[in-house]
Structure 1
Amino acid sequence: MMNVPFELRPDMPEEGLSAADNDFDHSEHVEAHLLGLAEAAGHPMVLPHFVPKTHRAMVMAELARDVGPDVYEAVHEAIFSAHYGLGLDIGSQEVLLKIAAAHGLDAAAVTKAWQDGTYEERLNAFVQLAIELGVSTTPSALMCRQLVVGSRPYKVLVDVMKQCSAATEKATSAK
Structure 2
Amino acid sequence: MILIKNKLENLYLNPNSTIFKVVNFIRKNQKTIQTFIFFTLIILPILYIIKIHLDINQFLEKIGNQNVNLTHQKNLYNQLFDKVKSKKTENNLTNINTTIQKIAQKHHLNIDNLNWNLEQGKSIELKITADSHSLFNFINDLNKIEYLKYHLLTLTKSAEDRKVELTTTLVVLANKE
TM-score range, shorter chain: under 0.3
Larger radius of gyration: 2
Higher strand share: 2
**How does the TM-score come out when normalised to structure 2?**
0.17
